[in-house]
Amino acid sequence: MANPLRREVRQLYKNLLHLGREYPQGADYFRKRLNSAFMKNKDVTDPKEIRKLVDCGEAVIKELGTLYYLREYSAMKKRFYEEELSAMLNMGRPTD
Amino acid sequence: MSRVLVGVKRVIDYAVKIRVKPDHSGVVTDGVKHSMNPFCEIAVEEAVKLKEKKFIKEVVAVSCGPTQVTETIRTALAMGCDRGIHVEVSGKDYEAMGPLQISKIFAALAKKEEASLVILGKQAIDDDCNQTGQMTAALLDWPQGTFASEVTIDGEKVKVVREIDGGLETIKISMPAVLTADLRLNTPRYATLPNIMKAKKKKIATMKPADLGVDMVSRVEVLRVDEPPTRLAGVKVETVDDLVAKLKANGTI
């Protein structure tokens, strides 16, 4: 593996591991899946291939960020905007 | 137009199941996961966005409490704030700390730091007070744009679209001003590891409320904390006649 890529791959792993701590199904579950995903590709040597895999990993980071945001947003929405939701559901019905 | 103060509060994580202490004096916090109040995340994001758009030069993250709140300040720094201020409050003072004390601290800091804007979350998910922003503005005699779902800076004024019952209200207020962030203001960025590492170099200043001339005496005493009543299980009926009979027996019809 080319040296600069080695650093990138290692950093990617650390970043994903850090993000995985909040994973809904548990940090352990995430770590196992992360490790097996990286292990699966351990023999890849073509720099172009490695770059593609790293980009894939970066995309996963973005997805996780979005997942966490949506979870929090929808929890807040349910807790603080219930009247809004029921108002929306009652739209069109005659009021007393 | 240089500096924005952002308040961040360390609260029990929104996803944690809250338990009331056996003596009903409060909620169990020991060993419980804490994180930044979701509305504070939105406030930080807005401040950082304003800086990225070059409307302001510096974002200062402020939190009040014991040493642990520095973790929350670090998260704010990782999201893009330039430096932090930790106002040390611990023990009984921390337990009794509420919007009045916080707003006094923020008012003092806003003057000291010559802030153009103070941005806070609209409320904390642990006490649901929704008072700190309003009180801070009153103490400073500054205009306020609360429940902000959209903020636009226009010269020395701020246009704020506010979430109100029945819709949206657009107001224009002069700076310096206090804003409180509502849910739809923006999408907070997640603090990734590289940003957290970079933030370690940023400075967090420490001070005490007394340094700002603020007395922490509370006028409020918590008498008792209880869980909400458990929802009774629903009753299933076989036929419509049964339903009518049950409702009649209940006094509903």
pLDDT digits (tens, 9 = 90+) for B218-240: 999 999 999 988 887 888 888 99
Residues in B closer than 8 angstroms to A18, CB to CB, are 192-193, 196
Q: Judge whether residue B187 has pLDDT over 50.
A: yes
Which residue in the set B38, B39, B194 is minimally distant from A15, CB to CB?
A: B194
pLDDT of residue B115: 97
Q: What is the pLDDT of residue B236?
A: 84
Q: Is the pLDDT of residue A96 over 70?
A: no
Q: Is A60 on the interface with B (CB under 8 A)?
A: no
Query: For position A94, what pLDDT does the model report?
Result: 57
Structure confidence by residue, pLDDT tens digits, B79-94: 999 999 999 999 999 9
Task: Name which of A18, A82, A91 to mutate to probe chain B: the one with the most chain B Cβ atoms within 10 A of its Cβ.
Answer: A18
Q: Which of B42, B190, B197 would you mutate first to test chain A, the one with the most A CBs within 10 A?
A: B190
Q: Distance (Å, rounded) from C-alpha B162 to C-alpha B147?
A: 5
- Interface size between A and B, measured as CB pairs under 8 A: 36
B chain contacts of residue A72, beta-carbon cutoff 8 Å: 14, 38
Other CB atoms within a 10 A radius of the CB of residue A79 amount to 12
Instruction: Quote helix, strand, coil % in chain A, to nearest 5.
Output: 80, 0, 20
Distance CA A19, CA A35 (A): 14
pLDDT (mean) for B2-16: 96
Asked if the model's pLDDT at residue B2 lies above 60, the reply is yes
Q: Considering only CB atoms, which residues of chain B are within 8 Å of chain A? A: 14-15, 38-39, 125, 183, 187-190, 192-194, 196
Cα torsion angle, B188, A19, A65, A11, sign: positive
Does the distance separating the beta carbons of A19 and B193 come in below 8 Å? yes
- Pairwise CA distance, residues B59 & B201, whole Å: 15
